[in-house]
């Protein structure tokens, strides 16, 4: 690289790092850096950029971390093409970030677009597209810009769906597995959106406003508005956070017994890529059996999302009444052989 280019890059890096002198920015960066090291993330990682203020704040902290720790970071933006202006926005994001020595790769979602359940399908496709890029680039970690406001929204959405304990607190995880080969990391999950907006404006003075974020036909937006209204009525979000944390502790305890059940009452056949479950596997409390079976179905079926809860509960009831000989669920076959059950991938 020419001396002039090196000098320009150093100048950009110094300007980016100078923002860390700001007390708020410095505090969030320290939390960000600590969580990376606490979760033993020593390799290169990638960042999903939507163009919103929260994802740009994440991009900034990731860039600072890469400069200070000599770690390579890949930056991806998915052009979903759900709106006519999305491709123009993608180009603008790429050009903006280039000025900060950040090379953002645009991934395009081609093919037929959904007319219903748009946000959920778009999210799944976005994750899958980024997942494939990470595989190509040999990246094991993808950073997402979820913040504490997202956590509250997700908690209430799942509460309205009638989710169990695991569903209510699943979003609270800083790190979660995706397809066994990629870890999703949420290093900003304890920070407020308003702080991230301030940081993004301070550093980049730029963001993409997605009009769907104000469209009340989407449940998430209605929940967001509800939370804002409840704050006016006196909702204490700190107590809501405490509730979620307490539920998370209970969830951790249950997961311990799930792990013990799988370890003691199932056996993995590496050659046949199947699990053999003994009678004791199903003699545990219902929640332990439910989660144990769910975990094995996800692993054998290689699915990111769990099977529907009512499908698993129905299956457990059928097993308990000895009505199951062989059935399919979530891309797997569950077959009874003598006094044991075998789970293997459906062909």
* Section 97-111 average pLDDT: 92
* Section 165-182 average pLDDT: 80
**Mean of per-residue pLDDT scores for the chain:** 88
CA distance 71 to 141: 13
In a 3-state reduction of DSSP, which class is residue 323?
Answer: coil
At 30, list the tokens.
């320290």
- Give domain limits for the chain: 3-235, 264-345
| Highest mean pLDDT: which range of 21-30, 174-183, 314-323, 334-343 | 21-30
Instruction: Evaluate if residue 4 carries a pLDDT over 60.
Output: no
Instruction: Evaluate if residue 233 carries a pLDDT over 90.
Output: no
* More reliable by pLDDT, 327 or 7: 327
What local confidence, expressed as pLDDT, does residue 210 receive? 67
* Section 74-87 average pLDDT: 89
Please state, in angstroms and as integers, the Cα–Cα distance from residue 136 to each residue in 129, 131, 158, 182, 330, following that order: 11, 9, 34, 12, 27
CA distance 319 to 83: 47
Instruction: Evaluate if residue 3 carries a pLDDT over 70.
Output: no
pLDDT bracket for residue 212 (50, 70, 90): low
At 135, list the tokens.
């595989």
* Section 148-159 average pLDDT: 89
pLDDT bracket for residue 167 (50, 70, 90): confident
Instruction: Evaluate if residue 304 carries a pLDDT over 90.
Output: no
CA distance 286 to 289: 5
Instruction: Evaluate if residue 137 carries a pLDDT over 60.
Output: yes
CATH superfamily of this structure's domain 3-235:
HUPs (3.40.50.620)
* More reliable by pLDDT, 301 or 73: 73
What local confidence, expressed as pLDDT, does residue 169 receive? 87
CA distance 262 to 267: 8
> Under a CB-based contact definition with an 8 Å cutoff, are residues 145 and 124 in contact?
no
Using one digit for the tens of pLDDT, what is the confidence trace for 266-303?
999 988 899 999 999 999 999 999 999 999 998 898 77
**Segment holding 143, helix H or strand E:** strand 141-143
Task: Point out which residues pair with 73 in neighbouring strands.
Answer: 45
Which of 138, 176, 183, 135 lies closest to 44 in space, CA to CA? 138
Q: pTM to 2 decimals? A: 0.81
What local confidence, expressed as pLDDT, does residue 288 receive? 95
* More reliable by pLDDT, 75 or 237: 75
At 269, list the tokens.
């056949």
pLDDT bracket for residue 191 (50, 70, 90): very high
What local confidence, expressed as pLDDT, does residue 275 receive? 95
DSSP per position, 29-53: HHHHHHHHHHTT--S-EEEE--SSH
């Amino acid at each position: 690289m020419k001396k002039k280019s090196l000098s320009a890059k150093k100048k950009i890096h110094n300007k980016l790092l100078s923002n860390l002198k700001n007390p708020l920015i410095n505090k969030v960066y320290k939390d960000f850096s600590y969580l990376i090291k606490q979760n033993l993330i020593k390799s290169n990682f990638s960042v999903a950029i939507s163009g919103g203020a929260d994802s740009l704040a994440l991009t900034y902290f990731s860039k600072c971390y890469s400069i200070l720790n000599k770690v390579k970071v890949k930056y991806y933006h998915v052009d979903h093409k759900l709106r006519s202006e999305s491709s123009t926005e993608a180009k603008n994001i790429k050009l903006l970030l280039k000025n900060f020595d950040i090379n953002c790769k645009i991934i395009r979602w081609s093919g037929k677009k959904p007319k219903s359940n748009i946000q959920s399908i778009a999210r799944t496709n976005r994750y899958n597209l980024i997942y494939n890029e990470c595989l190509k680039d040999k990246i094991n970690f993808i950073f997402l810009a979820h913040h504490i406001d997202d956590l509250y929204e997700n908690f209430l959405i799942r509460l309205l769906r009638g989710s169990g304990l695991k569903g209510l607190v699943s979003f609270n995880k800083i790190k979660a597995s995706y397809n066994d080969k990629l870890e999703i990391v949420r290093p900003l999950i304890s920070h407020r959106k308003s702080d991230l907006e301030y940081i993004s404006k301070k550093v980049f003075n730029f963001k993409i406003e997605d009009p769907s974020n104000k469209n009340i036909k989407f449940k998430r937006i209605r929940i967001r508005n509800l939370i804002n209204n409840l704050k006016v009525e006196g909702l204490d979000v700190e107590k809501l956070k405490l509730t979620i944390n307490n539920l998370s502790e209970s969830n951790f305890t249950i997961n311990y017994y799930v792990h013990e059940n799988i370890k003691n009452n199932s056996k993995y056949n590496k050659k046949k890529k199947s699990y053999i479950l003994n009678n004791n596997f199903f003699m545990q409390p219902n929640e332990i059996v439910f989660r144990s079976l769910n975990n094995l179905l996800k692993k054998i079926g290689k699915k990111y999302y769990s099977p529907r809860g009512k499908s698993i509960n129905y299956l457990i009831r059928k097993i308990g009444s000895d009505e199951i000989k062989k059935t399919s669920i979530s891309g797997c076959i569950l077959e009874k052989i003598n006094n044991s059950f075998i789970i293997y991938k459906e062909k």
